Structure formats: C-alpha cells, structure tokens
Amino acid sequence: MGMMFPEIRAEVADLHKHLIQWGLVVWTAGNVSARVPGEDLLVIKPSGVTYDQLTAESMVVADLDGKLVEGDHNPSSDTEAHAYVYRHMPEVNGVVHTHSPYATAWAALGEDIPCAITAMADEFGDDIPIGPFALIGSDAIGRGIVETLAGRRSTAVLMAQHGPFTIGKSAKAAVKSAVMCEDIARTLHLARQMGPLKRLPQTDIDKLYDRYQNVYGQTKQGSR
C-alpha cells in the first residue's frame, strides 16, 4: 500500500525550501506542518533531518495528539505544539516554527513588536505579540500559542526566549507569515536604533489590513 497523503507530504517537504531561501533557519532549526483536510491528522517534518533530505517520503504523519501514525522517522520535536494548535484552532491548516534571527531576538527581549509600518498592518493587522516561555516536551508551547493568538488578527507569536511560531489558513500562508514576521522584525529593529517606534492609528491599521487581505493582488475585488 502507498504512503498516506503523498500530495500533502510533497507540499510540506517543498515548503521547507522557503525557510532556507528566506534565511529563516540554520541547520534543522525550523519546521512546517499541514493539517490533513477532514482527518484528525497532520503532516510534519521529521526531527533533526537536514532540509536537503526532506522529501515526500521522509515526511511523517501524526495524529492531533502528536503521536506518529505513519513514517520511517521520529516526528519533529514540535509536533505536540502543532497538534495542539490544530485541535484548538479549527480555522488553522498550517503551522510553522523557526528561529529566524530578528524575530527570535525580539522573543529573547520579551517585547511585542508594535504595528508601526504599513507592511505589518497589511499582513498582520496587529502587533506581533510575545507568548509565554514554555519548555518543549509537552503541550505547553501549543497552549501558549493558542492562548496568545486566539481571537486576534496576528498570525505570528514570538514565544518568549524561544522564537516565532506562525499559523495560516494553509501551510503556505503560515510560511508567508513566518517570512513577513522576520522581515518586519528586522526593519523595526533597525528603526528602533534610530528612535522610538510609533504604532499606527488603529483606524489606519484596519483600513490597510482590509485592503491587503481582500483587494490586493489578484483577488476578484482587486480587478480593475
């Protein structure tokens, strides 16, 4: 019998290339997962396997308690965290974790990143919040992600003294959130060296977010 969910496995394996392409990880320090539609299952990277060895075949399938269901490798050490998010946030279909340098520096400081530029209002419509410090090896990280992000727009949380976790309506959307989170963390770090950051007015954040999420690019509303 063939492996379960070959297409989702291939997509998740391929999405890890973006972590390298955009400078979000060194060695194996990051992971991407996707929810399996209609199943209490997820596909995630195997733990400690370098990105050049990630293929559809090397991905693993786990249940939403983080237990291995199919695969020749141990699942990512963050599988329980990803699984907790999928159990408690039904609208989320992708989760990413990295140690991208600027976002992780803000996490080390324990400071929210204020929504001070239009690119941040576009993508997040919100500050990027700090989540609690939580040790790996239980659902503490997942609980911290959900408690921090539930009910707010941001799709990125900086887990204190650890690093960013991002969520999305798809695994690709969660990867994009991780890329934009790092870009914004770097820009606002640079800005803060020159002076205090100033949060945009909430009304402007709301307008920018609405445009970017509903009109920007090739959305139907965006067509001339």
Ligand X SMILES: O=C(CO)[C@@H](O)[C@@H](O)COP(=O)(O)O
Q: Which of 10, 56, 73, 77 binds ligand X (CB under 6 A)?
A: 77
Three state DSSP letters for the chain:
CCCCCHHHHHHHHHHHHHHHHCCCCCCCCEEEEEECCCCCEEEECECCCCHHHCCCCCCEEEECCCCEEECCCCECCCHHHHHHHHHHCCCCCEEEEECCHHHHHHHHHCCCECCCCHHHHHHCCCCECEECCCCCCCCHHHHHHHHHHCCCCCCEEEECCCEEEEEECCHHHHHHHHHHHHHHHHHHHHHHHHCCCCCCCHHHHHHHHHHHHHCCCCCHHHCC
Selecting among 14, 122, 206, 210, the annotated active-site residue is 122
Which one of 35-43, 72-80, 85-93, 211-219 is the stretch in contact with ligand X (CB under 6 A)?
Answer: 72-80
- In the complex with ligand X, which residue's Cβ is closer, 35 or 97? 97
Q: Is 97 in the site for ligand X (CB under 6 A)?
A: yes
Mark whether 73 is an active-site residue.
no
Least distance to ligand X from the beta carbon of 80, Å? Answer: 11
Q: Which of 136, 150, 190, 215 binds ligand X (CB under 6 A)?
A: 136
Which one of 75-83, 116-124, 180-188, 212-220 is the stretch in contact with ligand X (CB under 6 A)?
Answer: 75-83
Q: Is 29 in the site for ligand X (CB under 6 A)?
A: yes
Listed residue (101, 124, 104, 105) closest to 114, CA to CA:
124
Selecting among 14, 99, 189, 210, the annotated active-site residue is 99
Q: Is 76 in the site for ligand X (CB under 6 A)?
A: yes
Which one of 8-16, 40-48, 180-188, 201-209 is the stretch in contact with ligand X (CB under 6 A)?
Answer: 40-48
Binding interface with ligand X (CB under 6 A): 28-29, 31, 45, 47-48, 76-78, 97, 136
Known catalytic residues are: 97, 99, 122, 162, 216
